[in-house]
Amino acid sequence: MKKLLYILLTVAMLATLTSCGRSKDTAEETEDDTSEAVSGSQTEDEQPDEMDMTPPDFADYAWVGDYLDSTGGQAVLNIAPAEKRANGYDIMIYIPGGESSFTTWTATAYYEADLGGLHYANCVRTDTETGDLGESIETYRDGEGVLIPTEPGSNTLLWIDDVDGRGVNLRFERMETE
């Protein structure tokens, strides 16, 4: 899990660094213009400032609640205080699979400061058919992943699922309580 998060952060950092740099040709063209050189343009010997890779501190985030996927409006995330473990959260993600099927992911998650989100392990994925047979199949019991807010103060969570990557296109927004 941590390896995936570090890879994502490294890719983001590299993309930022390459988009911020100037090519050598561009630097040579602007050397002739003294007004630009005086205004603080970066020389070849200077290094760009290092990015702060520390995740935001979401320890006080109000995790508990119901969330709906804003990209399609069908997936639902529920986060509740853990029934059996202190300082934990029971999470359940529900995604319909059509008229007669759905999939759920259930786990207990804990806040991890080095990830900036709720980390879960031993997640159980269950695929359920509601047709004539009405059977449920436990796909796996060893899922791992993390739920993280998109930014400080946001009511939108991202789901990074290390097993099937199912959360890649989902954005869970907190639902209003009545």
List per-residue pLDDT tens for the chain, 178 residues long: 444 444 444 434 333 333 444 444 444 444 444 444 444 445 566 666 676 666 677 777 889 999 999 988 899 999 999 987 778 999 999 999 888 899 999 999 999 998 899 999 999 999 999 877 788 999 999 999 999 999 888 899 999 999 999 999 999 999 987 6
pTM of the predicted model as reported, rounded to 2 decimal places: 0.67
pLDDT value for 26:
41
Which amino acid appears at position 97 of this protein? G
Rounded distance between C-alpha atoms, residue 111 and residue 68, angstroms: 21
CB 95 within 8 A of CB 115: no
- How far, in Å, CA of 101 to CA of 43, rounded? 60
Q: DSSP E strands: which ranges in the chain?
A: 65-69, 76-81, 88-98, 101-112, 117-129, 136-149, 156-161, 171-174
Closest CA to 55 of 121, 111, 14: 111
Tokens standing for residue 118? 């709720």
Of 5, 6, 44, the C-alpha closest to 22 is 44
